[in-house]
Amino acid sequence: MRAPFQNYFSFCVVSRGVAQNISISKSVQTLLLLFLIIGGLYFAREFLIPLTFGGLLATLILPFSRRLERKGIHKGIAIVMCLLGLLLIAGGILALIVWQVSDLATDVSEMQQQISGLIGKIRDFLSTAIGISGEKQKEIIEQQQQSSGVVQMASMVTGTMGVLVDFVLVTVYAFLFIYFRHRLKKFILMLVPAEEIDRTEKVISQSAKVAYQYLSGLSMMIVMLWIFYSIGFSIAGLKSAVFFAILCGILEIVPFVGNLTGTGIAVLMAVSQGEGSGLIFGVLGTYLFVQFIQSYILEPLVVGAEVNINPLFTIVVLVLGESLWGIAGMILAIPLLGITKILFDNIESLKPYAYLIGGDSKQRKGWGERMRKLLGRK
């Protein structure tokens, strides 16, 4: 009786060890795959960033291109018309910014005097609190300016050329994605088994819907923010209020960081005007009021629940996106995470991860949700 028992015990131990080894092996393979994906995203960023922007831009103008095609316009001409319309809108916004900057330039001398006074106070504080004399501070600043002047000029030229090249690539990618959309969709469907075709078509449709909903909703929200910030900054007495309103709205494309950066610049402008603390508190009060309207009304109303991400993973993916792709990664992080969540929702083994990434739909209830129902927005 003892020998069979010992054999059975040895078999259980060996089986348990094999199971543990298999589990550890799968975990190691998963980690290796994750690191390979992250490494690939980082080293291929010069290629992937314009491609991804082109894909998201294609989802934004695709509905308009379809409407033109249904009216009998050739597909290529319809796409070009949509792209030209989008470029005209962007050009109009840029012209408005240039116009506001030209008005702002008339107050530069006064701003320089105010900023010089602030710098003088900071130097006096450093001299008395830390012991760094004014001459030493001036010497340090001059050394930094001399050493970085040429480098800044070269990086500015290189950056401008890179932006122009990426702009052309994004436009070309968007055109080609829309023009060959049926071929690309058929290619994806050819890769999956026949029983998974319906589910794959659903994933493709939902992914395009999420990208379009996020981008179109974000565009509408930015326009509304321009209006609210313009009114608030004008009432507060901030010079070039429209310019800073446009700046704060455009920077909203970078979640969390963008609106803080834009408002910080507006506060610096308020400080440089030298009109006392009332203007500063007016700018900050405008920011807090607009943030309240944005969080509880604008986002539920125009963005909706399609991109419903857990705040923890929103911050994590923003930090990861900035580490991999810089500012572009922060802009692309939220829509890409929304598409990833849809993919996880439709794969049985990945549904727990979709639940982990997603947010609580009850958090989106409120006046914004009631307004959506009142306006008939689904």
Question: Tens digit of pLDDT per residue, the chain (378 long)?
Answer: 445 545 544 545 445 554 455 556 776 777 788 888 888 889 999 999 999 999 999 998 999 999 999 999 999 999 999 999 999 988 888 887 777 776 666 555 555 555 566 565 566 555 555 555 556 555 555 555 554 555 555 565 666 677 788 889 999 999 999 999 999 999 999 988 888 888 888 888 888 888 888 888 888 888 888 899 999 988 888 887 888 888 888 888 877 777 788 888 888 878 777 666 788 888 889 988 988 888 777 776 665 555 677 778 888 888 898 889 988 888 888 888 888 888 888 888 788 888 888 766 544 444 445 544 544 554
User: Bridge-partner residues for 358, per DSSP?
Assistant: 309
User: Which residue reads 């930090």 in tokens?
Assistant: 319
How far apart are the two ends of the chain, measured CA to CA in Å?
71
Using left for φ > 0, alpha for ψ between -120 and 50, and beta otherwise, residue 312 falls in: alpha
Determine the Cα–Cα distance for residues 318 and 324; give it in Å rounded to an integer.
Answer: 10
Contact between residue 369 and residue 300 where contact means Cβ atoms under 8 Å apart: yes
Q: Which backbone phi and psi does 203 adopt, to 5 degrees?
A: -65, -45
Determine the Cα–Cα distance for residues 15 and 155; give it in Å rounded to an integer.
Answer: 61
Chain centre to alpha carbon of residue 186: 30
Q: Which backbone phi and psi does 275 adopt, to 5 degrees?
A: -100, 20
Contact between residue 65 and residue 78 where contact means Cβ atoms under 8 Å apart: yes
